[in-house]
Amino acid sequence: MSHIVIVGAGFAACTAVKTLRKHGFSGEISLIAPRAELFYYPSLIWVPAGKRTYQDLAIPLHDFLQKNNVEFIQSSVSAINAETKTLTLEHTDVSYDMLIIACGGRYIRKLPGIEHSHIACNGWQETKSFSDKLAQMNEGTVAFGFAGNPNEPSAMRGGPVFEFLFGVDTLLKQQGRRERFNLVFFSPAPRPGQRMGDKAVDRILGEMKKRNIKTYLGKKMLCLSEGKVETEGASFYADLIMFIPGMTGPACAVNSGLSLSEGGFFKANEYCQVEGQKDIFVAGDAGSFPGPDWKPKQAHMADMQAEAAAKNILELLQHKEVKHTFKTELMCIVDSLDNGSLVYRGPKRGMMMKMPPLHWVKVMFEKWYLRDYISR
């Protein structure tokens, strides 16, 4: 019986497990990750308002893995040898017949002084630290920004920054202290969020103006320092900085010998196979996939890629050709704590729609998505 190894424990990895078992694979599955938990990153945006705790977001996977008869190996992967079909872990090697790389990417930390910012989407600690400092401030300037990977423009995570920005604005108003704060948004992109489409960018920038949020756009970033953001065109003081840099591939990609994109991700074909490899697949933020230049890196896409990868593995195990692809689409709700805007972009059309109930739609989606992982 074939042995399928999945690297990672996030959205793509868990979806791959579900897909394999749902479609009848009864063989051995091993999941390798530093922790047996699914961290629900989308809801980090509600931490500053005190609406989510670590326990709400870090979902233990022991029951899920046991239910699906998955072996959990607690480790990170330092090397991949495609010739011998083995992975080098911290204390041992693991062999595979089929491999799905779903361990996510890394944030590029080359900007001088980046340690003076909070990379919110990097996890709980940085988001909680930002939230605690905001709560302790009586007044001041709070700056929010994001950048991309110059070698792979789609490798960025800008949506959550908009949500943190609008959410903090709403929170300060609810607390009756917004007038004592200056909120600033900065980005080297002249039209940040362009992947969402022109209308969406116009609305987001219009919303910033409406909320009296000052913007610094289209200038190359030079550095961050304690209390200051510097760009080629301007610099400004900030008491608290949230910044999400561009992304690159996981550490195990660097010396893997596998095909990589210019941005440092595993380069995949439309079937989620790493180029040149029949038995190695990639899903989620670890991969670079064919498609339009606006293709997003978000959980929605990671799930669809993982499903395609898992189904194609099952085709190969039945001595058939791979045939499953995934749809490229951007879909999210840009939340502002008491309101929300639905953003959609597909191959043929795009839209943005704002209405208060969408905030609660996002809240309910969280509960729906996590239903398979939370023990009852």
pLDDT, residue 376, reads 59
Find where tokens 């900085």 sit.
241
Cα 2 to Cα 167: distance, rounded to the nearest angstrom: 48
Going along the chain from its start, the domains and CATH numbers come out as: 3-105+249-317 (3.50.50.60), 111-246 (3.50.50.60)
pLDDT, residue 107, reads 95
Give me the count of residues in the chain.
376
pLDDT, residue 235, reads 93
- Angle, helices 11-22/299-317, rounded to nearest 10 degrees: 40
Contacts of 278 by beta carbon, 8 Å cutoff, 6+ apart: 316
Confirm if 167 and 45 have CB atoms less than 8 A apart. yes
Cβ count within 10 A of residue 215: 14
Rg (CA), the chain: 21
Q: Are strands 70-74 and 28-33 parallel, antiparallel or unpaired?
A: parallel
pLDDT, residue 350, reads 82
Per-block mean pLDDT, blocks of 10 residues, the chain (376 long): 95 98 97 97 97 97 97 96 96 96 95 94 93 97 94 86 97 97 94 80 92 94 94 93 95 94 97 97 97 88 97 97 95 92 86 88 96 83
Q: Name the region of 222 (left: φ>0; alpha: ψ -120 to 50; beta: rest).
A: alpha
pLDDT, residue 46, reads 97
